[in-house]
Structure formats: C-alpha cells, structure tokens
Amino acid sequence: MKLLLENWQDYLYERNMKGRALDRYTSELTRETMHVLKDDEFVKYIDEKGEATVALTSPVINDLDWVRNVYIHVRQDEKMGVAEGDVMTHGSYEYTLDAPEEERRTSDLHINIILPLEYDFSVFSKLVPELKSTFRHELEHSSQPTEMLDITHKKVPDDQIWKTLERVEDYYTGEAETKAHVVGLYKKAKTLKMPAAEVVDRFLGELIETGIVHGYSEEEIMPLIMKIRGWWLHYMKDRYPEAETWEYWDD
C-alpha cells in the first residue's frame, strides 16, 4: 500500500511539473506570436497580402521533445467584425500515426489565427486568451504518447468527427482530446480570470452551434453535450482541484 501511494504521488508530481513547464512554454510562444503580429513589417505585409505564415524561433521550442517547428498562419477575413474585435484561433499538432519516438521529434505544431481586415491592436485583448488556450491545447497533444493520440485519430479522423453523434462522442470524450481541451480551457479561464466551468460551457455552446450546422437538432445534441461536460469537469477537478466548477449548465 505504501509503495502504491508513493508511485501515485510520483505520478502526480511528474504530471504537475510537466503541466507547469507547458504553461511556461505557452506563455513564451504567445509572447513571441504577439511580437510578430505587432511588427510593422508584418502588419504592412499582411495588409497587402491578406495572409502570412511565420515560423517561430523561440528557444523554448528546443525544449519540446516531440516538436520540431511551430508555425503561425495568420489570415484576415472580411467576415470578422472589426468593431466587435472578432478573432479566431485553432491549431493542430501534426505527427505520423504509429510514429516511433525518433519520428515524433519531427512533428510540427500549427497555430491558425484569423483577424479582421485592417485590424488594429485593440483586438489583441481578445486574441491573447484564445491564443494561450490553443497553444496549451496543442502542447498537451505534443506531450501525449503516440498510442494515446493514435486511439482517437484512427477511430475518428478529423474530417469525420461530425459524421455521426457516436463519432462526436468518441472524439470529445477520448483521453487525448479530454485532456487537451481541459488544459486549454483552464488556461483560458485563468487568463480571463473567469470560473473554469463558465469557459467550458461557452465552448460547449459553440459546439452545439457546430452540430446544428452539421444538420443535428439541439434536442439531439444536448444529451451528448452534457455527457462531454460531465466528463471534462470530472477530469478538470482531478487535475486542477482549485478550478471553479459546478454541476449544472450555466445558461
């Protein structure tokens, strides 16, 4: 029993240390990205071309065992409202299925940023929390064993997530995505100084809208959303005992 307790404590210590390191890397990569976005030459270029790709050069990338390069892809979109300060981010951790450890070292992290046309720096107050959440999510994936990532991606390829609600459930309640979503959303909650459950509920509200776009009714989606919510908040309380969560959906 004593050995089991010691092993569990060692596991928690290692997990917490890894998490703190990935939090630091998230902050550093976010700072470098913002430095790029504020650069006069970059602003001039993207205003002319409408899109740009930049490879980040932060030294912390060398500390990431299973990341070779970090790219940011920035695009201006006329559908984004300048007055509202609309921004959007999403990311991907690109690795090879069944990759041995050496091949995992050649994996790349891509962060996509969508900004309004002729954006000004006022939109960055909304961008930073989104960017930190996306970086933290993808860095979590970069630290996950290949076997964990493969389970989800073999079962539910990205382009088939919304093919059935069963696939949506498999994707969002799988171990890899549960952990990555929870740490990303918790990072966003900490950045915004908001209750974590509220940030989770807002994300799930957007997921409902995505489901409706794919042809499902809210009545069909809601039981699954509540199942995902329960799964994520259970893991969040385990990983972050101080997180503000509550049992019921926050309307």
- Per-residue pLDDT at 8: 36
For position 116, what pLDDT does the model report? 87
Residue 125's nearest CA partner among 32, 34, 24 is 34
d(CA 50, CA 86): 16
pLDDT of residue 7: 42
Using one digit for the tens of pLDDT, what is the confidence trace for 79-122? 765 445 589 999 999 999 999 989 999 999 999 999 988 788 88
What's the CA gap between 159 and 251, in Å, rounded? 30
> What's the pLDDT at 85?
58
Contact yes or no for 181/172 (Cβ under 8 A): yes
**Burial of 107 by CB count in 10 Å (0-12 exposed, 13-18 middle, 19+ buried)?**
buried
**Residue 117 confidence (pLDDT):** 84
Residue 6 vs residue 20, higher pLDDT:
20
| pLDDT score of 49 | 93
Q: 223-226: which pairs have CB atoms within 8 A and are 24 or more residues apart?
A: 224/165, 224/168, 224/169
User: What percent of the chain lies above the pLDDT cut of 70?
Assistant: 89
In angstroms, the CA 187 to CA 181 distance is: 10
**Band of residue 248 on the pLDDT scale cut at 50, 70, 90:** low
Residue 243 predicted with pLDDT over 70: yes
Distance CA 117, CA 9 (A): 50
Least confident of 9-13, 102-106, 123-127: 9-13
The pLDDT value given to residue 79 = 73
Q: With the C-alpha atoms ordered 247, 243, 188, 104, is the resulting torsion angle positive or negative?
A: negative
Given a cut of 50, whether residue 10 has pLDDT beyond it is no
Q: How confident is the model at residue 2 (pLDDT cuts 50, 70, 90)?
A: very low
* Tens of pLDDT, residues 158-199: 889 999 999 999 999 999 999 999 999 999 999 999 999 999
Considering the entire predicted model, what is its pTM? 0.90
Mean of pLDDT over the chain? 89
Q: What pLDDT is recorded for position 120?
A: 85
pLDDT on residue 86:
84
